[in-house]
């Protein structure tokens, strides 16, 4: 089944920049799709439109399997900048999405610790983000995205700011987690390696205006244990 479907999406910003032109994409349940293309080709614009953070100028975005009310719980976002609250503990940062829904600290405790365990940070709940490495901050950011148990993950160059070894480790962890939870993932990257290594499908974009030029099925390699 199709999880999200974009048809003939066009995005023109107020200053006249056309970021997307005739952008169509169907993402099916359980797919790991990479959106690959050079800087400025419209990848983030497309992801923000899918996330509901930005409106298309024309064209449609449909979620055939979800009603509008249920969608919030189904989506997890991870951005390149972890955007963690530096003064708050790792625990409080991960708790935030549940706190926003009125879940108390004690009621959220099990879920927060589970989420931290999922990314291997259960021993760091009391630390502050500024005490952690870049890779660990990214793991906290992922744990926060997982706290609502989303079915769909939208990731915008999540590992771009990390060194290659950390990035490779996180790539492997992400593959294992996707296998375990069956997420549908849309992953924005400008790395050819990352797209081919991670995805079951690579959607290649070109710039000016942003559009899809190739849609390639990939047999993803399994991570090394
Ligand atoms: P990518 O994620 O592939 O780097 P973006 O989606 O960020 O590309 O940007 C696509 C194009 O839209 C670029 O030319 C960029 O400069 C432009 N753009 C992005 N956001 C805005 C904005 N808020 N206002 C005007 N132009 C924008
Ligand atoms: P339980 O119902 O006992 O939490 P699950 O098998 O559903 O058992 O979950 C086990 C672990 O997986 C927990 O750490 C939980 O937080 C996590 N988890 C479950 N579903 C998801 C999901 N869709 N996304 C992220 N983490 C999840």
Ligand nearest the Cα of residue 205 is 1
Residue located nearest, by CA, to atom 13 of ligand 1: 40
pLDDT on residue 68: 63
Question: What is the CA(19)–ligand 1 centre distance, in A?
Answer: 6
In angstroms, what CA-CA distances link 189 with 36, 47, 121, 149, 160? 5, 11, 25, 23, 8
Instruction: Give 135-187 pLDDT, tens digit per residue.
Output: 999 999 999 999 999 999 999 999 998 899 989 999 999 999 999 999 999 99
- Give yes or no for residue 220 having a pLDDT over 60: no
CB of residue 45 inside a 6 A radius of ligand 1: yes
Atom of ligand 2 nearest to the CA of 76: 24
Distance of CA 185 to CAs 4, 8, 80, 156, 174, Å?
Answer: 11, 21, 15, 11, 10
Q: What is the rounded average pLDDT for all residues in the chain? A: 92
Helices (H) and strands (E) in the chain, counts: 7, 9
d(CA 134, CA 189): 18
pTM exceeds 0.95, yes or no: no
pLDDT of residue 221: 52
Say how many Å lie between the CA of residue 110 and the centre of ligand 2. 11
Average pLDDT over residues 193-199: 94
What is the ipTM score, two decimals?
0.69
CA of 149 to the centre of ligand 2 (A): 7
Q: What is the predicted pLDDT for the residue at 74?
A: 82
CA of 141 to the centre of ligand 2 (A): 17
Residue pLDDT, tens place only, 42-65: 999 999 999 999 999 999 999 988
Lining residues, ligand 2, CB within 6 Å: 114-115, 117-118, 146, 149-150, 181
pLDDT above 70: residue 72: no
């Amino acid at each position: 089944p199709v999880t999200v479907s974009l048809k003939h999406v066009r995005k023109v910003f107020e200053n006249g920049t056309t970021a997307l032109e005739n952008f169509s994409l169907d993402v099916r349940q359980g797919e790991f799709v990479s959106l690959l293309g050079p800087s400025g080709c419209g990848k983030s614009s497309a992801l923000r439109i899918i996330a509901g953070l930005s409106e298309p100028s024309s064209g449609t975005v449909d979620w055939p399997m979800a009603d509008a009310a249920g969608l919030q719980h189904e989506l997890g976002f991870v951005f390149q900048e972890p955007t963690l609250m530096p003064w708050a503990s790792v625990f409080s940062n991960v708790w935030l999405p549940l706190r926003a829904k009125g879940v108390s600290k004690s009621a959220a405790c099990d879920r927060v610790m589970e989420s931290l365990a999922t990314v291997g940070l259960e021993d760091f709940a009391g630390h502050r983000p500024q005490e952690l490495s870049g890779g660990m901050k990214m793991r906290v950011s992922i744990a926060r995205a997982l706290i609502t148990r989303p079915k769909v993950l939208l990731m915008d160059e999540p590992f771009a700011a990390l060194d290659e070894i950390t990035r490779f480790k996180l790539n492997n962890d992400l593959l294992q987690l996707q296998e375990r939870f069956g997420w549908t993932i849309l992953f924005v990257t400008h790395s050819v390696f990352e797209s081919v290594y991670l995805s079951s499908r690579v959607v290649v974009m070109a710039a000016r205006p942003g559009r899809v030029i190739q849609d390639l099925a990939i047999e993803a390699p399994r991570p090394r244990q």
